[in-house]
Amino acid sequence: MFKGSLVALITPFREGKVDEKAFAELVAWQLAEGTHGLVPCGTTGESPTLSDAERQRLVAISVEGAKGKAPVIAGAGSNATEHTIEMTRAAKAAGADAALIVCPYYNRPTQEGLYRHFKAINDAVDLPIIIYNIPGRTGVDMSNATMARLARLPNIVGVKDATNDLARPLRMRAEIGADFCLLSGEDATAVAYLAQGGEGCISVTANVAPKLCARMQEAWQKGDLASMRQINERLIPLHDALFAETSPVPVKYAASLLGRSSPEVRQPLWPLSAETKEKVEKAMRGAGLIN
């Protein structure tokens, strides 16, 4: 259903407010560069600091910009089930093709609690759902067994897997089946994830290197392993730099070097240190993205 390079879009701010013009231009640029899907209002978009109205507006801008050229997977998760249902309904009303739903953070539900959370959303909204499993941020790891139970529900169609466990996609394929969409949530291991049965990556790096990320995924699909390896080697220092401090602070600074966004983030995030700025600039030059 979803494959290739799907960008986890940053949310540009200017003087504390969402910069809708910059966001719309970012969406247009992503599509022109070949990005295969748009993911607004995820963690990379600083979703915990966005109001519901801001989220809805960003999804609407994404849908309008995509115009059917690429799918829009709207971040709609929270750590409250009823609120998540409301945001998923809003994503559907805005025309999103699917919703990205993070495992509830901080609450640390049991596996049964995770199942009931996602089942409640499945039952309430007729929209494809991608589970976002990122234990490092949420404090809870959805097991393959729980995911297999959820995959039997009609609207649960895949996972953004940010566990960084490269054996997991193989095991998920064995336990869940071929129809479940496996998307990596880790740029540095995206190629390895493809080799283990994945179908694409929801990428942070694609915010600043959309053409390279898209071409790398396309090279894999065509069986052009030499080109895929060459692009991957070119990008790996950039992947590392963009996670040198808490994401999305480095990638927003990188986007500012391209004139695509201000580097501004909302608290409790804070601007980059001088040392990390230098690292990001060096990686951007190394990837051929700036002079």
Any domain includes 276: no
| Active-site residue, selected from the candidate residues 3, 92, 160, 277 | 160
Any domain includes 277: no
Can you read off the two tokens belonging to residue 32? 């022109």
Domain carrying residue 108: 4-223
Q: Establish whether 282 is a catalytic residue.
A: no
Q: Which CATH number belongs to the domain containing residue 114 in this structure?
A: 3.20.20.70
Any domain includes 287: no
Q: Establish whether 160 is a catalytic residue.
A: yes
Can you read off the two tokens belonging to residue 144? 């393959």
Amino acid 1: pLDDT: 79
How far apart CA 232 and CA 10 sit, in angstroms, is 22
Residue-wise pLDDT for 45-73, tens only, equals 999 999 999 999 999 999 999 998 999 99
Any domain includes 213: yes
Any domain includes 109: yes
Kindly write down the DSSP assignment for every residue of 79-132, as one continuous string. Answer: SSHHHHHHHHHHHHHHT-SEEEEEPPTTT---HHHHHHHHHHHHHH--S-EEEE
| Active-site residue, selected from the candidate residues 3, 92, 115, 132 | 132
CB-based contact 188:171 (threshold 8 Å): no
Any domain includes 92: yes
Residue-wise pLDDT for 71-89, tens only, equals 999 999 999 999 999 999 9
Number of domains the chain contains: 1
pTM: 0.97
Any domain includes 278: no
| pLDDT, mean of each 10-residue run, the chain (291 residues) | 96 98 98 98 97 97 96 97 98 97 96 98 98 96 98 98 96 95 97 97 98 98 98 98 98 98 97 98 98 91
| Beta-strand pair 129-133/98-102 | parallel
CB-based contact 26:10 (threshold 8 Å): yes
Can you read off the two tokens belonging to residue 153? 């529900």
Any domain includes 256: no
Amino acid 177: pLDDT: 93
**Residue 247 φ then ψ, to 5°:** -70, 140
